[in-house]
Amino acid sequence: MNHLFLPIFKNTIKMKSIWLYWCFGLVPFIVILSAIFNSDFLQIETDSGITMTGLDLFYMLFGILHNLLLPFVILAFIISKVFYDEIHSGIIFMYKDIKRSSILFSKLITLLIIHTIFNVILFISSTVVYYIHTGSLDNTSPLLLPEGTNLLAFSLEPIGIYLVQLIAIVLAITLSIKLSAGYTILGTLLFIFFTTLAPMLGVSKFLVPTGYTDQIDSLGLYGVFAIMIMITIIYLAALLTFAINRFKKVEY
């Protein structure tokens, strides 16, 4: 697996679109530019009575970028290049008859690491922005993590978004084995739309990991967390099984 994963990872991160995707992790710096040019875009204001920490800013920007969809459009495009384009251009001949599931998992791990690097860039840049700009505003704390709050409870919503993103990555892989970039991007964005709207649509909210954050009183914090993880595992297992079967049967 190692002789497969490392070259695939090193090869993939040489794609220009990966660097464009990672550039979106620098979006927090727009907060500073926005303040300099007195623009309303990404202006951070804190309510009186609520003290903002560095983690608050990160979670806020993480949520904004998720709803903005643009980084995910690029990620879905990258996934399509890594799967659909390689199959249909004939590049896949390079892999000869290496076990298809090993190829798929090496690419999946590569994409997950790329996604993680994006989030690390976002975290670092939002922390930098917090300490050089936002932290000086009213009602902000010099601390990165909130004091006296359960971190899991505080992070439940962003964790839900993160789990949705994991599912969306595997969904994009599944789609891109057979469908071109346009359909892969469309399908992935529709799924993200659904996960955003589902929590507001009655029963359907229980179909997505993000739909349980208001159930802490009835299910308890750890109960909600466990259900979110379980739902994600079910989605991932179903999609991966389907994707592996599809990938094994691909003819080129």
Binding site for another protein (CB under 8 A): 3-4, 6-8, 11, 14-16, 89-100, 249, 251-252
Count, residues in the chain: 252
Q: How far is CA 109 from CA 8, 40, 63, 128, 161, in A?
A: 10, 38, 23, 28, 19
Q: Whole-number minimum distance, CB 54 to another protein, in Å?
A: 36
What single-letter DSSP state applies at residue 161?
H
Q: Which is nearer to another protein, 40 or 251 (CB)?
A: 251
Q: Which is nearer to another protein, 56 or 86 (CB)?
A: 86
Q: Whole-number minimum distance, CB 24 to another protein, in Å?
A: 19
The pair of three-digit structure tokens given for residue 46, joined into one six-digit string: 């804190």
- Measured CA to CA, the distance from residue 38 to residue 35 in angstroms comes to 5
107: number of Cβ within 10 Å:
21
- Measured CA to CA, the distance from residue 159 to residue 150 in angstroms comes to 14
Q: Which is nearer to another protein, 100 or 194 (CB)?
A: 100
Name the one residue in this structure whose structure tokens are 């993680």. 116
Q: Which is nearer to another protein, 6 or 201 (CB)?
A: 6
Q: Whole-number minimum distance, CB 83 to another protein, in Å?
A: 14
Q: Which is nearer to another protein, 92 or 112 (CB)?
A: 92
Q: Which is nearer to another protein, 4 or 207 (CB)?
A: 4
Q: Whole-number minimum distance, CB 14 to another protein, in Å?
A: 5
Q: Whole-number minimum distance, CB 243 to another protein, in Å?
A: 17
- Measured CA to CA, the distance from residue 176 to residue 90 in angstroms comes to 15
Are 69 and 182 spatial neighbours (Cβ–Cβ below 8 Å)?
no
Are 232 and 167 spatial neighbours (Cβ–Cβ below 8 Å)?
yes
Name the one residue in this structure whose structure tokens are 């993939």. 12
Q: 17: which residues sit within 8 A by CB, 6+ positions away?
A: 74, 77, 78, 81
Q: Whole-number minimum distance, CB 251 to another protein, in Å?
A: 5
Q: Whole-number minimum distance, CB 75 to another protein, in Å?
A: 17
Q: Which is nearer to another protein, 206 or 249 (CB)?
A: 249
- Measured CA to CA, the distance from residue 241 to residue 237 in angstroms comes to 6
| 100-132 helix and 221-249 helix, angle to the nearest 10 degrees | 140
